[in-house]
Amino acid sequence: MQEARIKWLLRRGMKELDVMFTRYYAHRYPVAPAAERAAFIALLDGPQEPDIYAWAMGFEPAPTEFVEVIHEFRNYR
């Protein structure tokens, strides 16, 4: 996915998620393992904001494919 498209998708419409996604992308994404980067890209184009927020805040368990990304999100909230 092109960087311009990724930056556009970082804008989630929910301020809390905007902050987490943007901080993650700026600090963790460049050094993240390939599998984690792929999960992040899938997260950008897949689940809805309320689900991502619930996973990031620990209200619900994250699906297996997103566990590592969500764990890292918690460092950037």
pLDDT score recorded for residue 77: 65
User: Running along the chain, 77 residues long, what does each successive block of 10 average in pLDDT?
Assistant: 88 87 94 95 92 94 95 82
- C-alpha dihedral over 41, 51, 63, 7, to 10 degrees? 10
Q: Which CATH superfamily is domain 3-76 in?
A: Flavinator of succinate dehydrogenase (1.10.150.250)
Give CA–CA dist 50/14, Å, rounded: 9
- Domain layout of the chain by residue ranges: 3-76
Amino acid type, 58: G
Give CA–CA dist 70/1, Å, rounded: 20
pLDDT score recorded for residue 11: 86
pLDDT score recorded for residue 13: 82
SS3 content of the chain, % helix, strand, coil (to 5): 75, 0, 25
